[in-house]
Structure 1
Amino acid sequence: MKTDVSQDDILLREVRDGIGWITLNRPKKINALSAELVAAARAQVEAFEKDDAVKVIVITGANGNFSVGYDIAQEVEMGLSRPEDWHAGLTNNVGLSMAVWSSTKPTIGAVDGWCLAGACELAMACDMIIATDRAKFGEPEIRFGSGPVTLLMPFVLGQKKTMELLLTGDTIEAAEAERVGMINRVVALGELEEVVQKLAQKIALTPMVTLRLTKTALTRAYEAMGLRNAVNVNLDLAATLNAAEAPEKAQFVELVRSEGLRKALDYRDKRYGALT
């Protein structure tokens, strides 16, 4: 039974049998994470964290895609140039992923279609990821002079695969993502919602105090390994990286301004050609 359904344009919220669903809802932009959507999603994660009626939080995307990551066109329009300006904006982006990571309630990423860049980081911040067989993961922002904002991948995948993905900008299919340990399970397209809901309900049978303390212990274990420090250090470096000058990046940004994001992405992809 579905209860407590509300819609606020760019974000959908639903509580279903004790499971809180958050849906990124900018389908015309492939659910790109605008500043407004980042703020709304973080607020909703924090609201579900405080809601005693919610035992598990699910994050998904509308209309056949999770998200293509942070809204590049909006970033270009904002005209950020100094490291300190980038740092302020990126801090908000990191804040969303780390709100998910820090939640004391179990979180599940339900992924269909594209799950790229900052959205890939958001999914990796979830405790578990279930994906359809057509889902694709990666952080291709390296190809236009940016880089990961919330550096979680080394802790999820390990050093070798992280190096490969973050230095090439390659994307991987769901089956490969499962093989390397990025996601938990691959399901058929029409089964995603049902499988995630059943998994969440199974988790929710455990007493809330047990869920909270077990997740806290696991979170602290990763933070003892240096996860949070790595995220904070990377945030400082990412601000510098996004402000750094490179001819390829300058060309990409100019194309976004003059001809639109699609032309800029075509330019980016053409540079890699047959190597993609």
Structure 2
Amino acid sequence: MTETMHEFIRTERRGDVAWLTIDRPKKLNALSVQLMSELSEALAEADTDDSVKVVVLRGGEKAFSVGYDIAEEVELEVSTAEQWHGGLSNNIGLTMQVWGLSKPVIGMVEGWCLAGGCELAMACDLLIAGPEAQFGEPEIRFGSGPVTLLMPFILGQKVTNELLFTGDVIGADRALELGLVNKVVPADELEATVTKLAQKIALTPLSILRYTKRTLMRAYEQMGLRDAVQGNLDLAAVLNSADTPERADFTELVASKGLGAALAWRDDRFAGLD
């Protein structure tokens, strides 16, 4: 086993499987600009290395990722539709890099898997979750919305409508019932389960894996997946720049009292309704 370290991404080679770990625990693996750049680089390296057959993407015990780094966005004073369009293009680029990787990607999810982190997980070919995993896109509750619109193709219309209109977060068992994840296993069995699955897939010749994944991607893209993602980019840029009282209050709280206070305010608005 060999290991390569970036500041926020750790890459381990276990035979013909590359394990990529998002490692920013103090921020619950929030996707900062630097983290996304490091992850993109690690994905590209695994994709072009013919000795790698399968990629595993995981976070930590508390969070796969809570999504894009909102505090960083506030600090950078991203506000106009044009500014949002540029930033969101980068975010979509990373998620679609996972989606379009030429090799199978297994996502291993523990804890929070929210917003952009949930989109990153949905882009994986297979998802194995621990019992405490939590999935959702709650950003609508403060005036934002999904960036990479994958959910309709994975969950279907009615469930997607419910989750994106309400911002509800669902647990691992509900995610399994809806088909968002392939399997839920006890936390102490999670890594072993993912290892066994990756090793099983890696027995298939690399060229066959590549062509099979290409065929599956094209099937979804014939249904309009890439067009939907690209079309949503323009709308998301406008949505994120919309001048609403809720968005203004949330942004002011992030700047003055920190992200934790802003998220508490957001969730308090829905207290008793969840």
TM bucket (normalised to shorter chain) is: over 0.9
Where 1:172 maps in the other structure, the secondary structure is strand
Number of the residue aligned with 1:131: 129
CA contact 2:6–2:38 (8 Å) conserved in 1: no
Partner of 2:266: 268
Rounded Cα–Cα distance in structure 1 between residues aligned with 2:265 and 2:169: 17
Which aligned pairs between 1:108-119 and structure 2 lie closer than 5 A?
108-119=106-117
> What is the Cα-based RMSD across aligned positions, in Å?
0.7
The CA distance in 1 between the partners of 2:181 and 2:37, in whole Å, is: 25
Candidates 18, 42, 46, aligned match of 1:48: 46
Correspondence for 2:59 among 58, 61, 85: 61
Q: How does 1:1-276 map to 2 (within 5 A)?
A: 3-276=1-274
- The CA distance in 2 between the partners of 1:253 and 1:28, in whole Å, is 21
The one-letter code of the counterpart of 1:144 is F
Per-residue CA deviation, residues 46-94 of structure 1 (Å, 9 max, x unaligned), is: 1100011110011101243201000010011110111111111111110
CA contact (8 A) 2:46 2:55 kept: yes
**Ranges of 4+ aligned residues in structure 1 off by more than 6 Å:** none
In 2: Cα distance, 1:63 partner to 1:74 partner: 23
In the TM superposition, residue 7 of structure 1 has moved relative to its aligned partner by 1.4
TM-score (norm 1): 0.98
Which shows bigger deviation, 56-65 or 106-115?
56-65
TM-score (norm 2): 0.99
1:9 to partner: Cα distance: 1.9
User: Which amino acid in 2 is paired with 1:221?
Assistant: A
Cα pair 2:61 2:111 within 8 Å, conserved: no
1:28 is displaced (CA, Å) by 0.3
Equivalent pairs: percent with the same residue?
A: 57
Matching residue's letter, 2:156: G
SS in 2 for 1:66: strand
Cα displacement (A) at 1:104: 1.1
What secondary structure, in the 3-state scheme, does the structure 2 residue paired with 1:274 have? coil
1:92 maps to amino acid: N
Q: Give the secondary-structure state (helix, strand or coil) at the position aligned to 1:149.
A: coil
Within 2, Cα distance between the matches of 1:93 and 1:259? 26
